[in-house]
Amino acid sequence: MSRKIVQREATAAAVDFPTAMPGILRRVYAARSITSPRELDYALSNLLPPTSLGGLADAAELLQAAIVARQRILVVGDFDADGATSCALCVRGLRAMGAVDVRYLVPNRFEYGYGLTPEIVEVAAQQAPALIMTVDNGIASIDGVGAAKAAGMRVLITDHHLPGHSLPDADAIVNPNLPGDAFPSKALAGVGVAFYVLLALRARLREQGWFTDQGIDVPNLAQWLDLVALGTVADVVPLDRNNRLLVQQGLQRIRAGNCVPGLRALLEAGGRSLPRVVASDLGFAAGPRLNAAGRLDDMSLGIECLLTDDASAARDMAAQLDALNRERREIESDMQAQALTVIENLQLDDERLPVGLCLFDPDWHQGVIGILAARIKDRLHRPVIAFARSAEGEIKGSARSVAGLHIRDVLDAVATRHPQLVQKFGGHAMAAGLSLAEADYPAFAAAFDAEVSRYLSADDLHTCLYSDGELSDGELSLEVAQQLRDAGPWGQGFPEPLFDGCFEILGQRVVGERHLKLTVKPPAGASRIDAIAFNTAALPTGCSVARLAYRLDVNEYRGLVSPQLVVEHIEVITS
C-alpha cells in the first residue's frame, strides 16, 4: 500500500498567542484549527456545563429516588476499557454519594454479546435490582429494556453510541448523540457521559440537602478524572476541547500520584513512569492491558482492578491482566499472519482488492477480531471487517474504518438494502460491530464492498501522513521534544505533531528482532540523533540518505534522557 507525506497547512486564523510561546507550537496549533489561546486552557472551570446535556434531570431523579429509598442499583457495563472505566466510576461515585447497595454486571462477550440483551436481563433479575443503569451501552437495547421493564425494573440508559431508528423505552436516556440533543460535544466517550450523570446527581442531592442530612461529605468527583481520562483515550474518541480538558485533568492527577491503585499498577506493568505519563501511555500501556480481560476472559477482572483501594491487590490483578495481554498479542499475531496469507493467496494487487474488505476464519478468536481489523485496515488503508464464529451458524464481525467513511452508516445502508442479511449492528464513525448468519457471509462481503465503493474511490485508498513540516537542526533538541510532549494531550482528532525531512543515515541495526534503530543527522547539520522505526526491516545496504516522517519524542533509558525520532515512514533517497 502506497504512503504519501502531505504537508499540513494552517487552518486557523491569526491568533493572539502569548509571545513566550515557542514558534513550533504556534505552527502546530494553527494547523489544528486552534483559534484562541482559550482553547488551550484546560482548567476544570472551562468544562462544558451539564445543563445542555439532555436527559440529565430525569437521570438524576431516578438515581436520587433509588439512593434515598436505599434500593439496589445495578450498573450494567461493557467489556472494553470505556465500559470498564464507566462502570468503576459509577460504582465509586454512587457509593460516595450514599448509595448503600450498588453492584455491577458486565456481560461476558462470549456468552451474552454486547449490550443490555434480554439474556443479560435474566441474569440481572436474579439480583433483583430496582434500577438498572447502563454505561457505554444500551441505546440499541430495545428488547432488553423491554424485558427489564416487564420484570418491574426501572432502566436508565447512559451511552454515547449512535442511536438507531427507534429508541428503547427506558425511564431516562442520556446520550449526546440523540437527535436534537443540544450538548455541544458529541464526542464524549461512555465514561464522559457517566461523569456528567454523576455531576447532575451530585447537584440534585446537594440541592435537596441530602449530604447534610446524612452527614456525608460532598464528594469531589474530580478525584476520579483519571478513570475518565483512561476510558476517553482508550476508546479513541475525538479529542475535542472538552475531551482534551477531561484527559488533561486526569493526566495531571495521575502524574501527581492521585490515581486509583489499579491504574497506577496497569501503567507500571507497562513500564511507564507516573510523573511523565502522557495520553499515549493510557492508550498503549494501560488501555490494552485493561481491554485484555474483556477480549480473552471476563472484564470483571479489569473492573475489580479499578475498584480496589488495596495497592497489593491492584498489582496482583494488573499482573494477571498483563499476562492476558501478552496472550492476546500472540493470538493477534497469529491471526494477522493468517489474514495476510489469505490476502496474498488471492493474488490481487491493491487495485483489485475489495474496497471494503471482509475476512473470516472459523477458528479466529472473537475477542481479538477488533484489533485484527484495525491492524489490517492500517496496513491496507481500507475499511475492514474481521469475522469469527460466535455460535453454531452465526458469526460476529468487528469493523474498523478509514477517515472519510462512517462505518455505522455503511452498515445501516447494507441492512436497508438487504433487510434479511444483517441480524444486528451498532457502533459509530470509525468502529462498529455486527452479527449475521455464517451462510450469509459471502453475500454480506459482496454487499459491504459494493456499499463502501459508493463512497470511496481508488484515490482514497492511500495512506496519507500529514506532516507539520521540517524541523531545523537546532529544533532537534530535548527542549523542543519536551515542549511538544507537554503541549497535548494528543490523540484522535488532535494528532501528535509529525514532521518530515531528509537525513543522512550514519548507522543502523535491528533491535528486538523487528525494530530498526538508526543514527541520523540532517545533511547540513552537525547534530547526531537516535531514531527508532518500529516493525521495520533494515534499510538496503549502502543507504546513505533517506526522507523520514517522524515524531520528536523524549527517550528515557537507564537514567539518561535524550531526544529521539520515532519514525513512521522511510523513503530511501540514495543507496
Give residues with Cβ within 8 angstroms of 292, minimum separation 6.
302, 321, 324, 325, 327, 328
Distance CA 340, CA 359 (A): 10
Q: Do the beta carbons of residue 435 and residue 395 sit within 8 Å?
A: yes
Measured CA to CA, the distance from residue 262 to residue 256 in angstroms comes to 15
Distance CA(258)–CA(224), nearest Å, equals: 9
> Cell triple for residue 338?
493468517
Q: Single out the residue of 176, 173, 194 nearest to residue 90, CA to CA.
A: 194
Q: Which helix (H) or strand (E) holds 253?
A: helix 241-255
Domain for residue 169, yes or no? yes
Q: Provide CB contacts within 8 A for 14, sequence distance 6+.
A: none
Q: List, in sequence order, every beta strand (DSSP E) within 304-442.
A: 357-360, 384-391, 394-400, 424-427, 431-437
Task: In whole angstroms, give the CA distance from residue 455 to residue 26.
Answer: 35
Identify whether residues 269 and 185 lie together within a single domain: yes
Are residue 384 and residue 518 in the same domain, yes or no? no
- Boundary (domain end) residue, out of 414, 438, 463: 463
243 and 232 in contact (C-beta within 8 Å)? Answer: yes
* Predicted TM-score (pTM) of this structure: 0.89
SS3 342: helix
Cell of 554: 523524549
Sign of CA dihedral 263, 299, 62, 129: negative
Are 293 and 387 in the same domain? Answer: no
Q: How many CB atoms lie within 10 A of CB 1?
A: 12
Rounded to an integer, what is the distance from CA 83 to the centroid of its chain?
11
For the chain, the residue count is: 575
Q: How many helices (H) and strands (E) does the chain have?
A: 18, 17
pLDDT tens for the 575 residues of the chain, in order: 467 888 998 776 667 788 888 999 999 999 999 988 899 999 999 999 999 999 999 999 999 999 999 999 999 998 899 999 999 999 999 999 999 999 999 987 667 667 899 999 999 999 999 999 999 999 989 999 999 999 999 999 999 998 988 999 999 999 999 999 999 999 999 999 999 999 999 999 999 999 999 999 999 999 999 999 999 999 989 999 999 999 999 999 999 999 999 999 999 999 999 999 999 999 999 999 999 888 887 899 999 999 999 999 999 999 999 999 999 889 888 888 888 887 777 655 566 789 999 999 999 998 889 889 988 898 888 999 999 998 899 999 999 998 888 998 999 999 999 988 998 888 878 888 999 999 999 999 999 999 999 988 776 777 788 999 999 999 999 999 999 999 999 999 999 999 999 999 999 999 987 899 999 999 888 789 999 999 898 998 888 999 999 999 999 887 789 999 999 999 998 76
Q: Identify the domain containing residue 214 by its residue range.
A: 51-320
Same domain, 311 and 354: no
In the chain, how many domains are there? Answer: 3
Taking the alpha carbons at both ends of the chain, their separation in whole angstroms is 22
Question: 172 near 55, Cβ under 8 Å?
Answer: yes
d(CA 394, CA 215): 54
CATH classification of the domain holding 274: 3.90.1640.30
Q: What is the CATH number of the domain that holds 422?
A: 3.10.310.30
User: Pick from 463, 496, 526: which residue ends a domain?
Assistant: 463
Q: Are residues 186 and 126 in the same domain?
A: yes
For 167, list phi and psi in degrees, rounded to 5: -110, 150
